[in-house]
Amino acid sequence: MDEAPEVRQFSFWLGPWEVFTPDEVRVGTNHITPLFDRRYRRAPG
């Protein structure tokens, strides 16, 4: 049974990685930075 797209979990890279063209020319760097909602922080300890 297929799950609805909104309940699927994806794995992805966090942090920077270099981006290249199909000709293997470096064109830049992409970054994925996790964002946190302060309402969901755990209490210290």
The predicted-structure confidence for 4-28, as pLDDT tens digits, reads as follows 556 555 566 678 889 999 999 999 9
Q: Is residue 2 part of a domain?
A: no
What's the CA gap between 37 and 14, in Å, rounded?
A: 17
Domain hosting 25: range is 15-44
Residue 33 lies in a domain: yes
Asked if residue 39 is part of any domain, the answer here is yes
34 is a domain residue: yes
In a domain, 25, yes or no: yes
pTM over 0.85: no
| 5 domain-assigned | no
Closest residue by Cα to residue 30 from 40, 17, 42 = 17
Length of the chain: 45
